[in-house]
């Protein structure tokens, strides 16, 4: 069974992800990110409490980002784990995720 996943909206410009995004809950995580697609402007998402870093996690975050871009928004991920950062780098997806080189 998958650990609990939550997406918490802190304000119009900040949100936080907690728990895991994995094969068992990817569809739910993808759906939970739907409100992000209507956000206008820049939204920073804190990943400090994200407990997963694999291709499924990356795919969900990329899908959230793509939805936001289509509606004129921008998601920027903060406190990205070294493992997730490495997977994003290998996939040439850092720019798509708004990961900045000095962000940890």
pLDDT in tens, 47-89: 999 999 999 999 999 999 999 998 889 999 999 999 999 999 9
70 is in which domain, residue-wise?
A: 5-97
pLDDT at position 104 is 43
102, part of any domain: no
- The mean predicted confidence, pLDDT, of the chain is 88
Residue 1 pLDDT exceeds 50: no
pTM recorded for the entire structure: 0.89
pLDDT band at 102 (very low <50, low <70, confident <90, very high): very low
44, part of any domain: yes
Domain count, the chain: 1
Residue 29 pLDDT exceeds 70: yes
104, part of any domain: no
pLDDT at position 103 is 45
**CB of 79 within 8 A of CB of 46?**
yes
Say which CATH number the domain at 10 has. 3.30.750.24
């Amino acid at each position: 069974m998958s650990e609990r996943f939550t997406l918490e909206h802190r304000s119009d410009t900040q949100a936080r992800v907690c728990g895991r995004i994995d094969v068992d809950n990817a569809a739910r995580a993808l759906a939970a990110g739907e409100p992000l697609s209507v956000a206008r402007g820049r939204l920073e998402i804190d990943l400090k409490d994200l407990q997963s870093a694999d291709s499924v996690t990356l795919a969900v975050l990329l899908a959230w980002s793509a939805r936001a871009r289509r509606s004129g928004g921008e998601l920027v991920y903060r406190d990205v784990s070294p493992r997730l950062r490495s997977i994003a780098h290998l996939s040439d997806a850092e720019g798509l995720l708004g990961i900045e080189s000095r962000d940890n």
